[in-house]
Structure formats: structure tokens, C-alpha cells
Homo-oligomer: A and B are copies of this chain.
């Protein structure tokens, strides 16, 4: 939001106390400081909180900082409820939120502990980074991302509005959900995909190097998030076990059906026409995946569009990709998606340009005419 003179204006009133100055907490501090909001920082590690202060995320909290209006708890998920409880007690006039990626377990633990839930509103920014810690933090980490806000039945409207304002001030899009809807959602769109990616990647540990040389974009895409932090993910998955386990069991039932069908095909030989029902369950599993992936929202949140994809060989030199995209633009064709990958053992990139269905042929002609080499 910009004020009359173009200066950013925050709806959030400070001081805001940020507890836990890792990537998320420090990024929140940086974003708020950029809007001129007073931020006080606390972390069990003095080194960490001093680093956060050094990068400009606020000032280290002192015992004098009692007039806090909003507390943001950015602690690891398994200690979040304890920290929220302590902050609710230490700052009896403040609204308290947290950013843990699981919401029901935190809320249940607070309710069991008899916390003042009128001043607590959970939240979960759908943002992050492969990097961690205060030095990886950025004030614009949340720009353009969804940020779930989870009020309980006990939350006061003042508390809900304070957290919504925080989210909007940081450039994110508030998404209002209850705790169980949130937890079921992240089980489906984040936690189960994480486990699947890790399990597929784990199979590569003993792979022949020749096999890995055949890896294409499909394997790279499926396993990219398998590089995630084990300790953090164990904590997240344990905290959301109620929502994750039923989805995993359903997935395992589908997997069992596929394994049984393939065992049948292996025992009769592939060309001996195993019982139709058996292979039917393989086809059904692939078809069910077609139906599921088609529901993921596409560009601008609309219906997923299928694109024509044109793949171009790009010499691996600064400026070449830019030149390609200038020429795509000057052909009057809007690029919808772009992926760049590198061909194994070659100093050349493959740029896959997605354009609206029907425009691929014209783009290919334009690019060939301008001397670009196209690839598969």
C-alpha cells in the first residue's frame, strides 16, 4: 500500500514482537521495517537474534518492550504451541499469531492448556526457500504468495483483523480457512507430495550411474523437493499425522493394486495377455492421475490450459536466452511458461517455451527462420 506521497503505509501498528528469527521470522521483521513498523526481536539463540538485527529486521527485545500489540511466533512446529502459550501470558494485551505449517495440533494443545484463545489466530505463509536462517531472509519473501489465516471459534474479530492486516502488509494474499481444512489441504498439496518425492528419490541411491545419465525432466521434476530438510519435515509430518496418514493409506492401496497387476504381468510374461482386470487397475491408476492433475489451477488461478511446447537449443552464454525471448516477443507471441534445462554432457541449454495451443507451429517457423535450432 502506498500513501499520498508514494511512501508505503502499513495497516499494522507496532511494536510487533517476532519470536524466532530464522528465515520466516527475520523476513517478517524485514518486511515490517520496510514499512516503518517498530519490530522487536527475540530468539533463544543470541547469535541468531543479533544476526537478524544486523540484517535490519528490527531491534533486539529488552525487558522494557512491554507495549507489544502483535506477537508473531516463528518457532519450529514442535515447540510452537509452548511458545505461543508463553507469549499470550507474557503479553496479556497483545494478539498472538504463529506461522507453523500445521494448525490443528497447535490449536488443540493451546485449548488443552487453557490459553486465552480470543487473542490467538494461527497462520501459515505458503512461502519458503531452500535456504534457512536470518541471512537468507528477505522482506519480499511473501509477495504474491497465499498466506492462510486460521481463526478459531474463540478468536476475536480484532485479533483476526490484526493478522489479516499483517499478511496484507507483507504483500501476501490472505486465505481464510479453519484449522482442519488447512491441515487436510496441506496434507494433499504439500506433505504427501513431499513423501512421494522422497521415496522415489530414495530408490536412486543404489542406481547404476548409466541409469542416472538417462534421467530426463520427468525425474527431475518428481524428485526436486526430495532435497528438503529431514528434521524439519519429520516435525511437520508428525504434527499433521492425523491428516497425512489417511491420504498415504489410500495412496498405498492404489500402489498395492498396481504392484499386484505388475506381478501378474511379470509371471505370465508381458505378451501373454494377463487377466484384463489386472492391467485394468494400472490403466485406472494412470487415468485417475490424469483426472487429479487436471484439477490443479493453472495460470491466473483459471482452468489449467494445455500449451504447445517449443524447445530451442540455446548456447550457454550470457545474453543468448534473452535474445531468444526478445525474438519470441517480436513475433507477437506471448510466452505462457518457460523451462530451461541443460542437455547432459553438452554446453547448451534447452529452453522449453509454452505458448497457447495452436501457436506452436508458427513460433517454430519464426524461430527456425531466425536461425535457432529446435530440439525434442
Within 8 A of B (CB), among A164-193: 173, 175, 177, 181, 184-186, 188-190, 192-193
User: Is A248 a contact partner of B258 (Cβ separation < 8 A)?
Assistant: yes
The 0/1 profile, CB within 8 Å of B marked 1, for residues 317-355 of chain A is: 111011001101110111101111111111110110000
The 0/1 profile, CB within 8 Å of B marked 1, for residues 71-101 of chain A is: 0000000100100000000000000000000
Whether, in the assembled complex, A277 has its beta carbon less than 8 Å from a beta carbon of chain B, the answer is: no
Shortest Cβ distance from residue A220 to the other chain B in the assembled complex, whole angstroms: 6
* Interfacial chain B residues near A109, Cβ < 8 Å: 271
User: Is A289 a contact partner of B146 (Cβ separation < 8 A)?
Assistant: no
* Interfacial chain B residues near A364, Cβ < 8 Å: 138
Within 8 A of B (CB), among A139-168: 140-146, 148
A-side interface mostly: helix
Known contacts being A175-B213, A227-B293, is A270 close to B241, with CB within 8 Å?
Answer: yes
We find that the number of chain A residues with CB closer than 8 angstroms to chain B is: 155
The 0/1 profile, CB within 8 Å of B marked 1, for residues 246-283 of chain A is: 01111110111011011101100111001000010011
Indicate how many identical chains form the complex: 2
User: Is A286 a contact partner of B230 (Cβ separation < 8 A)?
Assistant: yes
Whether, in the assembled complex, A64 has its beta carbon less than 8 Å from a beta carbon of chain B, the answer is: no
User: Is B224 a contact partner of A293 (Cβ separation < 8 A)?
Assistant: yes
User: Is B265 a contact partner of A238 (Cβ separation < 8 A)?
Assistant: yes
Within 8 Å by CB of A189, from B216, B248, B290, lies: B216
Shortest Cβ distance from residue A273 to the other chain B in the assembled complex, whole angstroms: 9
* Interfacial chain B residues near A269, Cβ < 8 Å: 105
Please choose the segment from A43-51, A115-123, A125-133 that sits at the chain B interface, where 4 or more of its residues have CB less than 8 A away. Answer: A125-133
Shortest Cβ distance from residue A168 to the other chain B in the assembled complex, whole angstroms: 14
User: Is A189 a contact partner of B219 (Cβ separation < 8 A)?
Assistant: yes
* Interfacial chain B residues near A241, Cβ < 8 Å: 262-263, 265-266, 270
Whether, in the assembled complex, A373 has its beta carbon less than 8 Å from a beta carbon of chain B, the answer is: yes
User: Is B238 a contact partner of A214 (Cβ separation < 8 A)?
Assistant: no
User: Is B296 a contact partner of A212 (Cβ separation < 8 A)?
Assistant: yes
Within 8 Å by CB of A197, from B145, B254, B289, B332, lies: B289
Q: How far is the CA of A241 from the CA of B261 in the complex (A)?
A: 9
* Interfacial chain B residues near A250, Cβ < 8 Å: 203
Within 8 A of B (CB), among A4-36: 27
Q: How far is the CA of A287 from the CA of B274 in the complex (A)?
A: 38
Please indicate which of the listed interface residues A188, A229, A348 has the most CB atoms of chain B within 10 Å of its own CB.
A188
Shortest Cβ distance from residue A295 to the other chain B in the assembled complex, whole angstroms: 5
Shortest Cβ distance from residue A151 to the other chain B in the assembled complex, whole angstroms: 15
Q: How far is the CA of A203 from the CA of B128 in the complex (A)?
A: 24
**Top 10 A-B pairs ranked by shortest CB distance?**
A198-B289, A185-B211, A322-B325, A141-B376, A201-B292, A202-B288, A226-B289, A204-B292, A127-B376, A241-B266
